[in-house]
């Protein structure tokens, strides 16, 4: 994981995501997923841009399938923004950074 991106697992999901006092962007991904690799630099760029304001993490759906199932992840990459423990935005598929920023900006500022 890049410097500003945390690894999210089944054991830390509740504390890192649901109990965070900041918005949390979770990238649901897998090693074998081409579009996931395509969106990874965008997620890392957002983590750098929003450092201190948003927690950005990645959850490998192959390693932590119970969490993916809990949130109905059917396709990856799926990016979900949590605020106060609730999902406030969900995006499926790889998108340019500007598009993702626009989708999330109302929840970040």
User: Tell me: the pLDDT tens digits for 27-78?
Assistant: 999 999 999 999 999 999 999 999 999 999 999 999 999 999 999 999 999 9
Active site residues: 33, 36
Can you tell me the distance from the alpha carbon of 66 to that of 35, in angstroms, rounded to the nearest whole number? Answer: 22
Question: CA-CA distances (angstroms) from residue 49 to 36, 42, 46, 61, 65?
Answer: 20, 10, 5, 25, 29
Q: Hey, where are the domains in the chain?
A: 5-108
**Region 5-108: CATH code:** 3.40.30.10
pLDDT at 104 over 60: yes
What's the confidence (pLDDT) of residue 88? 95
Q: Identify the bridge partners of residue 80 per DSSP, sorted by sequence position.
A: 26, 90
């Amino acid at each position: 994981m890049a410097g500003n991106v945390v690894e999210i697992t089944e054991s830390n999901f509740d504390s890192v995501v649901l109990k965070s006092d900041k918005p949390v962007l979770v990238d649901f991904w897998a090693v074998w997923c081409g579009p996931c690799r395509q969106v990874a630099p965008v997620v890392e760029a957002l983590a750098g841009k929003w450092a201190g304001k948003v927690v950005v993490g990645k959850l490998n759906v192959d390693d932590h399938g119970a969490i993916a199932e809990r949130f109905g992840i059917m396709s990856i990459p799926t990016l979900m923004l949590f605020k106060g423990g609730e999902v406030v935005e969900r995006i499926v598929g790889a998108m340019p950074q500007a598009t993702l920023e626009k989708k999330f900006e109302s929840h970040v500022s």
